[in-house]
């Protein structure tokens, strides 16, 4: 193993509850592992469309399992996801495009807000069951994450710019280039090559590949 730090990229979308789980677990490992964690806001809708993937809940048995699975993982990792069967309809009826463009614009201009802002989007959608697709809701999330009203407004205006739209498309395409077909997609750049891990339940495996040990006790 090299003495340098391992770059670990998290490609995520705030519409995805598993992305939230992966995000929080990686945030907890970041101070313990020799990694540089990079958040990469991408658009899940684009990945699903271009890879021909379907939401798991489209398959009733898979949907039933997913409900139990998310509840168990949320409890295990102490992430406040509140999920019920009705949420599948809510996800299908919500576009995360505006939220992911907003996160992309923040990443381009004020990246220090990316972590708290992403967390607030998940909190709003998955804990409070509030909308994240309308401008006024996006501004409320930004306020909650500590952005000033002036900055929030400026970032919101940026979301319609070609620069922001293109960056989100590029990041989404990059995730697919690494082999992503859903979210979260975690890519560890180790020993000169990228290693893709799909989902939030492969992070122990990620640790073993990059030579880091995972101890649940270290998270508590």
Is-contact 43 13, C-beta < 8 A? yes
Q: What is the pairing mode between strands 6-12 and 185-190? A: antiparallel
Domain at 6-210, CATH class: alpha beta
Q: Report the run of H or E that residue 178 belongs to, with start and end.
A: none
Angle at 174 between CA 41 and CA 133, to 5 degrees: 30
Q: What is the pLDDT of residues 171-208, one digit of tens each?
A: 999 999 999 999 999 999 999 999 999 988 888 899 99
Catalytically annotated residue among 2, 16, 127, 213:
16
Q: What is the pLDDT of residues 165-175, one digit of tens each?
A: 999 999 999 99
Two structure tokens written together for 152: 């929030």
Is-contact 139 153, C-beta < 8 A? yes
Helix axes 135-144, 97-109, angle to 10 degrees: 40
**What is the per-residue pLDDT for 217?**
46
Q: What is the pLDDT of residues 13-34, one digit of tens each?
A: 999 999 999 999 999 999 999 9
Top pLDDT among 91 and 198 is at: 198
User: Is 19 assigned a catalytic role?
Assistant: no
pTM: 0.92
Helices and strands per DSSP (H, E), number in the chain: 10, 4
Is-contact 181 47, C-beta < 8 A? yes
**What is the per-residue pLDDT for 62?**
87
- Nearest by Cα to 10 from 48, 46, 30, 39: 39
The answer to whether residue 58 scores a pLDDT higher than 80 is: no
The CB density around residue 68, as the number of other CB atoms within 10 Å, is 10
Average pLDDT, the chain: 92
């Amino acid at each position: 193993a090299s003495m340098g730090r391992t770059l670990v990229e998290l490609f995520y979308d705030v519409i995805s509850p598993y992305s939230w789980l992966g995000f929080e677990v990686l945030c907890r490992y970041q101070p313990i592992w020799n990694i540089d964690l990079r958040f990469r806001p991408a658009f899940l809708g684009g990945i699903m469309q271009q890879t021909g993937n379907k939401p798991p809940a489209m398959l009733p048995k898979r949907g039933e399992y997913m409900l139990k699975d998310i509840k168990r993982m949320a409890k295990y990792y102490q992430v406040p996801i509140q999920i019920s069967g009705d949420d599948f309809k809510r996800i299908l009826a919500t576009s995360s495009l505006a939220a992911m463009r907003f996160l992309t614009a923040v990443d381009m201009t004020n990246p220090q807000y990316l972590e708290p802002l992403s967390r607030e989007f998940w909190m709003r959608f998955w804990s409070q069951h509030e909308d994240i697709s309308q401008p006024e809701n996006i501004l409320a999330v930004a306020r909650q994450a500590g952005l000033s009203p002036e900055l929030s407004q400026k970032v919101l205006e940026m979301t319609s710019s070609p620069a922001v739209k293109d960056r989100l498309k590029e990041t989404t395409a990059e995730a697919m280039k690494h082999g992503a077909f859903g979210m979260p997609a975690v890519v560890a750049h180790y020993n000169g090559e990228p290693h893709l891990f799909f989902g939030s339940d492969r992070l122990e495996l990620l640790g073993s590949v990059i030579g880091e040990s995972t101890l649940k006790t270290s998270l508590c």
